[in-house]
A and B are shown apart, each in its own frame.
Chain A
Amino acid sequence: MTTTQTVVPPRPVPATTAKPETKSHLTSAARAERRLGWMLCAPAVIVMLAVAAYPVAYSVYLSLQRYDLRFPDQAKFIGLGNYTAVLSSPYWWDALVNTVIITIASVAIELVVGMALALVMQRTLIGRGLVRTAILVPYGIVTVVAARSWQFAFTPSTGYLSKLLGNGAPLTHHGSALAIIILAEVWKTTPFMALLLMAGLALVPDDLQNAAKVDGATAWQRFTHVTLPLMKPAILVALLFRALDAFRIFDNIYILTSGGHDTASVSILGYDNLFTGLNLGIGSAISVLIFVCVALIALLFIKGFGAAAPGADLRN
């Protein structure tokens, strides 16, 4: 039939010289992008370094001094003296034990209740908006206000809950006070936990649930064998955030008991030493120790449990 098509004759190539030998590693476009990236990040970085990094370093420096605010001229370097003082003080260890108890208890309860809430939020067939508002109310309320509410509720003869429990003063006993603190924490932050878990729930495809249904799994089996395993990364991140937050507990304890009756947390201890004891050296040492504990918790979660450090998708 036809002969093979002839190729369209090429244009005569102009005799422009080839590029010079060594091309710069980046084109000007890539360089401009870099500059823009740095410039856009600069304000944030400067603020964060100046306000956070520098004070932290300063804090470490302070912790190595004996520095009583009442006698500022007598500040002098004492090396690890503050640390030995803190670590050999029963107050520190009591506070640490309290903090650990509160952290573990509240996070555990929040996980269970939060999961139930997440399921309700996701699956509720009616009144979704109202439920969501209700769940967000504890999130929006100022912590101090909520703490006051609980405080008054348990105040003997004034509070409705105190009346229900026989008019005792639960906030004045170590065990019951801790329980109330945990209650206040759980009430305040379960919504946030529920939201994090709901986001994780959304990642479990409906198809898998249906497949499990067809395979004969009960609702509970579906939950334990399909939903939970697939939510594991989300759960770990939620636990990480909440554990770090819980460890730093301050507001609720301050209002409810001021740390009295042996209910102080490590943050309360730090605050007391700083603003009541006016001891910058000890206060700073406690701060640094708290920071170390928090870092350890984070490490435990990331390396030990394999929690994905949040923001993993932002790095490249």
Chain B
Amino acid sequence: MAGIVLDHVTKQYPNGFAAVKDITLEIADGEFIILVGPSGCGKSTTLNMICGLEEITEGDLRIGGKVVTNTAPKDRDIAMVFQSYALYPHMTVRENMAFALKLAKTPKTTIDKKVTEAARTLDLTGLLDHKPANLSGGQRQRVAMGRAVVREPAVFLMDEPLSNLDAKLRVQMRTEVARLQKRLATTMVYVTHDQTEAMTLGDRVAVMRTGTIQQVAAPQELYRSPANIFVAGFIGSPGMNFMPATVEGDRLRCELGDLPMSDEVRQGLEGSGAGRNVILGVRPENFQDAAIVPASDRHFGITFTAPIDVLESTGADVYAYFTLAGGPAQNDALDELASDSGRADTGAGDGQADQVVARLESHTQIKEGDAALLWVDARPIHVFDPTTGVNLAPQREVIGSAA
């Protein structure tokens, strides 16, 4: 049980490429922290550095107060669950779990006790004498975790442990992982590229991009107060909509219309001395079918008409896609988000028009092809600087946003 401190850690390869650039992060003892970001952001490299499988080029790493920057993995009191599980195929489940303890010359009775207990925790008791090849994906995943659990380490490291499971199993195992961590109360560092996992699992989430930490905070704070446009676009599914806007007096003018500014936004804009152009961020859930919005709430936002291109119904929600003339917002973070999500390859948003997605109540009467009357809530919208991407009005209390 120990806290982890990454102190200005950098990872630079001999060819000059810096995978991780000067990150500083303090993880409390017993905390469940998630590293999330698109591929290439450096999250796995960071995890490998904490584990000791990658050398730290600059900076220090401390676990439990001890400097372990150059210590071998086996002396760091950590355990790791690999994405591929890395189970020893020629050993049974029992032998897999006992391997590390045997190497540490633990007495046999202790080994047996610990293995039996870990197996019980993870519901593996019946599988102890099977070989990995005879197990299903979910079972193998549990064995991989059991191997880590049995060592009772100070820190658990997990490298995308659920990404090889099919969708339904993944949802189920997510809760298992959460339960396990609470039960063991061990510090856990978890890497994933799936923002849903990040949001549902961690005490805190660190969003990474090209080797730096963009923001580290509790999931809800990331959702409500993203520090910059990258975090805003990364967290949340479907992702936030971005559109260019200009500041006109106390209104924000964009393709949807003239939106009223809330007090916080107005203060934020004044304080930061932003120019007339900004990027507006509107989450799909901030839209609504105008017909459904109660009259008393109407003045919190504006209505506008949009022709609906595509309508998707998930049963619980309806997602309406429409396009705005006037071009998409431009920012390099947005480009990276688009290429990570694959949108850049589809040719959508190629400069002519920008696609917006709105989440509507399931009982809406709007149909595909309609020129629908929609309402957008102006209270929770975000305003970003078009060049730096910084959120111009971050720390906000949001009251009663559209459910």
Direct A–B contact in complex, judged by CB atoms less than 8 Å apart: yes
Are A1 and B26 neighbours in the complex by a CB distance under 8 Å? no
A-contact bits for B204-230, CB 8 A (1 contact / 0 none): 100000000000111011001100000
Distance, CA A10 to CA B4, complexed state (A): 10
- The interface stretch among B37-45, B66-74, B233-241 is B66-74
Are B67 and A5 neighbours in the complex by a CB distance under 8 Å? no
B residues 60-90 near A (Cβ < 8 Å) are: 60, 62, 65, 67, 69-70, 72
- The interface stretch among A11-19, A44-52, A284-292, A307-315 is A11-19
Taking CB as reference atom, which chain B residue is nearest A10? B26
Distance, CA A22 to CA B29, complexed state (A): 31
Are B60 and A8 neighbours in the complex by a CB distance under 8 Å? no
Q: Is the interface of B mostly helix, strand, loop or mixed?
A: loop
Are A4 and B62 neighbours in the complex by a CB distance under 8 Å? no
B-contact bits for A19-41, CB 8 A (1 contact / 0 none): 10001000111100000000000
> Which chain B residues border A16 with CB–CB below 8 Å?
62, 65, 67
Distance, CA A19 to CA B399, complexed state (A): 48
Taking CB as reference atom, which chain B residue is nearest A26? B55
A-contact bits for B44-55, CB 8 A (1 contact / 0 none): 000000001001
Are B55 and A30 neighbours in the complex by a CB distance under 8 Å? yes
Taking CB as reference atom, which chain A residue is nearest B203? A8
A89 at the interface (CB under 8 A from B): no
Pick the contact of B69 from A4, A5, A19 — CB < 8 Å?
A19
B128 at the interface (CB under 8 A from A): no
B residues 173-206 near A (Cβ < 8 Å) are: 203-204
B31 at the interface (CB under 8 A from A): yes
Distance, CA A29 to CA B70, complexed state (A): 8
A7 at the interface (CB under 8 A from B): yes
Task: Evaluate whether A5 and B3 lie within 8 angstroms (CB atoms) in the complex, with A11-B29, A29-B55 already known.
Answer: no
> Which chain A residues border B3 with CB–CB below 8 Å?
11
Q: For A2, A11, A27, which residue has the most chain B Cβ atoms within 10 angstroms?
A: A11
Are A8 and B220 neighbours in the complex by a CB distance under 8 Å? no
Give the interface residue-count category, chain B: 20 to 34
A3 at the interface (CB under 8 A from B): yes
**B273 → chain A, closest Cβ, in Å?**
24
> Which chain B residues border A23 with CB–CB below 8 Å?
58
Distance, CA A10 to CA B7, complexed state (A): 13
Distance, CA A16 to CA B60, complexed state (A): 10
A-contact bits for B1-16, CB 8 A (1 contact / 0 none): 0010101000000000
Distance, CA A16 to CA B7, complexed state (A): 12
> Which chain A residues border B70 with CB–CB below 8 Å?
27-29
**B345 → chain A, closest Cβ, in Å?**
21
**A24 → chain B, closest Cβ, in Å?**
9
Distance, CA A148 to CA B245, complexed state (A): 90
A residues 169-183 near B (Cβ < 8 Å) are: none
Taking CB as reference atom, which chain A residue is nearest B220? A5
**A251 → chain B, closest Cβ, in Å?**
41
Taking CB as reference atom, which chain A residue is nearest B65? A14
Taking CB as reference atom, which chain A residue is nearest B400? A1
Taking CB as reference atom, which chain B residue is nearest A2? B220
> Which chain B residues border A18 with CB–CB below 8 Å?
7, 60
Are A4 and B55 neighbours in the complex by a CB distance under 8 Å? no
> Which chain A residues border B52 with CB–CB below 8 Å?
29
Are A29 and B31 neighbours in the complex by a CB distance under 8 Å? no
Are A11 and B26 neighbours in the complex by a CB distance under 8 Å? yes
Task: Evaluate whether A8 and B399 lie within 8 angstroms (CB atoms) in the complex, with A19-B69, A29-B55 already known.
Answer: no
Pick the contact of A29 from B26, B72, B204, B225 — CB < 8 Å?
B72
Distance, CA A23 to CA B56, complexed state (A): 10
Are A3 and B28 neighbours in the complex by a CB distance under 8 Å? no
Pick the contact of A1 from B29, B72, B221, B399 — CB < 8 Å?
B399
B395 at the interface (CB under 8 A from A): yes
> Which chain A residues border B69 with CB–CB below 8 Å?
19
B397 at the interface (CB under 8 A from A): yes
Are A4 and B204 neighbours in the complex by a CB distance under 8 Å? no
Taking CB as reference atom, which chain A residue is nearest B204? A8
Are B217 and A7 neighbours in the complex by a CB distance under 8 Å? yes
> Which chain B residues border A10 with CB–CB below 8 Å?
26, 28
B residues 223-265 near A (Cβ < 8 Å) are: 224-225
Taking CB as reference atom, which chain B residue is nearest A8? B28
Are A11 and B221 neighbours in the complex by a CB distance under 8 Å? no
**B285 → chain A, closest Cβ, in Å?**
14
Pick the contact of B221 from A5, A14, A29 — CB < 8 Å?
A5
Are A4 and B26 neighbours in the complex by a CB distance under 8 Å? no
B398 at the interface (CB under 8 A from A): yes
Are B60 and A4 neighbours in the complex by a CB distance under 8 Å? no
Distance, CA A29 to CA B52, complexed state (A): 10
> Which chain B residues border A4 with CB–CB below 8 Å?
220-221, 224-225, 395-397
> Which chain B residues border A3 with CB–CB below 8 Å?
397
Pick the contact of B26 from A13, A19, A30 — CB < 8 Å?
A13
Distance, CA A10 to CA B33, complexed state (A): 13
The 3 A-B pairs of least Cβ separation, nearest first, read A5-B218, A10-B26, A5-B221
Instruction: Name B residues whose Cβ lies closer than 8 Å to a Cβ of A.
Output: 3, 5, 7, 26, 28-29, 31, 52, 55, 58, 60, 62, 65, 67, 69-70, 72, 203-204, 216-218, 220-221, 224-225, 395-400
A-B contact sample (12 more), CB < 8 A, given A11-B28, A16-B65:
A4-B221, A4-B397, A7-B204, A7-B216, A7-B217, A8-B203, A10-B26, A11-B29, A19-B67, A19-B69, A29-B72, A30-B55
Instruction: Name A residues whose Cβ lies closer than 8 Å to a Cβ of B.
Output: 1-5, 7-11, 13-14, 16, 18-19, 23, 27-30
Listed by A's residue number, 30 A-B pairs whose Cβ atoms lie within 8 Å are A1-B398, A1-B399, A1-B400, A2-B220, A4-B220, A4-B395, A4-B397, A5-B220, A5-B221, A7-B217, A7-B218, A8-B28, A8-B31, A8-B203, A8-B204, A10-B28, A11-B3, A11-B5, A11-B29, A13-B5, A13-B7, A14-B62, A16-B65, A18-B60, A19-B69, A27-B55, A29-B52, A29-B55, A29-B72, A30-B55
